[in-house]
Chain A
Amino acid sequence: MTMLPLSRRALLAAPAFLGLAPSLARAAGPTPPICIVLDSGGSRVSVIDMTTRKVIHTEPTLREPGHWALTPDRKTLLIADASGNALFFFDPVTGRERGHKLIPDPYQLWFSPDGKFLTVNCLRLNHVDIYHADTLTLAHRFRAGSMPSHLSYTPDSRTVFVSMQDSGTLVAIDLATMRVRWTAPVGKTPAGVMWHDGIVLVAIMGSDHLAVVDPANGKLLRTVLTDKGAHNIFLTPDRSELYVTNRVAGSLTVLDAKSLGFKRRIPMPGGPDDLCFAPDGRLWIALRFASRVAVLDPASGAVDHITVGRSPHGIYLSTLLTDTAARTAMRLA
């Protein structure tokens, strides 16, 4: 058995993670803007030069990299390797791996807006782990439902909302008291969660809509039709539109961010999953079942494909480091 405390590699990486050491980026001329794609099926990540759209290198992980989070100081990209039971530390500029720390089953993860906590959903083990962000030590473990999937915080960092994929519920956890405030049924197989202008939106993957939920009590206020297998929700950097990825239909639904009214449907076969907005307005989309990343120009509808690993899942663009609008829309700490 391997003890949870920092492994040797992680100990080496910890000073960099804590911002106590200079970046370990390899010295090699100016770094192009990169896209990092997490290949859940291939135990590695692919690093793409966003300018040439070529894979410039790959980096190993242990088993199943799925989701990422940028540290509050934006110096480290955390990559969660669920079945590898590891959190990887990456250089967010070069896409080079710096080390890892063993923690159980990290699936989806995100820092609270105030930078104090890191919430880690352990989908396989059915618990939600809240870590102190500065030390990555466990603050509290919740068992509040089966298959915790996605999460989102209130802007004041007081509450984190977690969707329970198997239970069909949304759970509100009070981070000040470390207690579950409420648990509410929201629909079959809820996935993506987003705090949005005083309401909570939940993508209902077992159906074809978003659930609009009252954050005070979990009451279902209404539903918004999207397409079959609604998986995740993304706000455009100009905050005018919401993009919803629909896994079963193989499409994106574009909604008006204010009214939640339907604007258009964009076919996107291949199991669209995570996506990220580039400064030029294009969307970089991980196609989970097509071994490719799609680059969509929403103005013209043109789509380019870049071949990556077997099952592209999470996707990160290094342009987020300087693109304040995109970062704010993603509620990065």
Chain B
Amino acid sequence: MLPAHPFNDLAGWVEQVAVLPLLYRFGLMQWSELSFGWTLVAIYGVTQMLLAYAVCVPLERAMPIERWDSRRVVLVDVFYTFLARVGVLPVMTFVLFYAAQVRLDGFLADHGYVPPMLETIFPPLFGHPVITFALYALILDFADYWRHRLSHRFRVWYALHAVHHAQRQMTFWSDDRNHVLDEMIGFLWFMAVGLLIGIPPLQFPLLVLILRFVESFSHANIRLSFGRIGERLLVSPRFHRAHHGILAAGERSINYGAVFPFWDMLFGTADFSKDFAPTGDPEAPEAMASGGWVAQQWSGLVHLVRSI
């Protein structure tokens, strides 16, 4: 067989040599339908990591904002990225919320409803997958803007989100540095949006890969601006660094957008004037900034309890 879809072929191979035998061995074959999707997510996640590494590392070396003697604290962010991008966290979250989602959808079905999708809300979209996907990307980025903004607005929520902001050595690995509870709130948020407009189709994983790359790239330690117009079209390392600046940490911040800066411009939170400030949250516990993964997670929990 000639390779046709390199990602699919690789995912199919991993599915057959590793995932299915494991599911079979442990009596979990009822999940074999879904497991291929998870394997694909993991393959694309690894590809995202490799792409980000290949692009960001040379640029971080060539034009860094900051230089550090030790990069030990960055290693924890690498671990976070691995957890998030190869599908460990999505699978855990899926397992936790699957039953709840089934009950909710079943309840709706029993009352004569099916959850809508953009294509059923706006029927002309059906048969135009690229436009539909672009709309989903915009709406989900808009929803994420408000999730992010609210995570700063409420003290209790920010106690968890502070894990993301505590990093003083911000690199492209820092994008997935999140408390697991914060990740789960994010998943619930996504579920709620999914109930309103449906979950986007997955026929364009390469576009998802590019969008995720933009998010990683915006955290990179690269002295880079996209220029006067570019800065207003796509979130750049300069734009997002202003959000992570020590003066912007906490309940009142700026530049919340993940991929598109439009939402910040529209809702008055955009600031294009900041110039590569140092990052970190001065009020976050030291363990949150420089501890290992467990220490950071524990510190987030303690911070949460104290904030109540």
Contact = CB atoms under 8 A, between A and B. Distances in A.
A189 B36 contact: no
Contact of B108 (A1, A247, A311): A1
B203 A229 contact: no
Given A1-B108, A290-B9, A271 B117 contact: no
Nearest to A66: B33
A15 to B, nearest CB: 18
Contacts of B9: 290-291
Nearest to B8: A291
A83 B12 contact: no
Contacts of B203: 41-44, 310
Q: Which 9 A-B residue pairings sit nearest by Cβ, starting from the closest?
A: A289-B12, A104-B109, A307-B4, A85-B114, A189-B29, A206-B29, A43-B201, A1-B113, A2-B116
A43 B120 CA distance: 15
Interface stretch (A3-11, A20-28, A72-80): A3-11
Contacts of B30: 147, 165-166, 189, 206
B227 interface: no
Interface of A: 1-4, 7-9, 40-44, 60, 62-63, 83-85, 102-105, 122-127, 141, 147, 165-166, 188-189, 205-206, 228-229, 247-248, 250, 269-271, 288-292, 305, 307, 310-311
Interface stretch (B19-27, B165-173, B270-278): B19-27
B246 to A, nearest CB: 44
Main secondary structure of the interface of B (DSSP, over half): helix
A291 B12 contact: yes
Contact of B106 (A126, A166, A290, A311): A126
A311 B36 contact: yes
A1 B37 CA distance: 27
Interface in B127-141: 127, 129
10 contacts: A2-B114, A9-B123, A41-B40, A44-B203, A60-B126, A63-B199, A188-B27, A248-B21, A271-B15, A311-B8
A248 B102 contact: no
Contacts of A311: 8, 36
B307 interface: no
A241 B112 CA distance: 43
Contacts of A206: 24, 27, 29-30
A40 B34 CA distance: 11
Contact of B1 (A105, A205, A229, A290): A290
Interface string B101-121: 010011011101111110111
Given A7-B120, A248-B21, A126 B4 contact: no
Given A2-B120, A165-B30, A271-B16, A41 B202 contact: yes
Contact of B105 (A123, A124, A165, A166): A124
B225 interface: no
B31 to A, nearest CB: 9
Contact of B114 (A4, A40, A42): A4
Contacts of B29: 188-189, 205-206, 229, 248
B12 A60 contact: no
Given A2-B114, A206-B24, A206-B29, A289 B109 contact: no
A305 B1 contact: yes
B202 A205 contact: no
Contacts of B37: 41
Interface centre among A40, A63, A228 (most CB of B within 10 A): A63
Interface string B139-165: 000000000000000000000000000
B202 A43 contact: yes
Nearest to B107: A125
B129 to A, nearest CB: 6
A83 B36 contact: no
A104 B114 contact: yes
Interface centre among B5, B9, B32, B120 (most CB of A within 10 A): B32
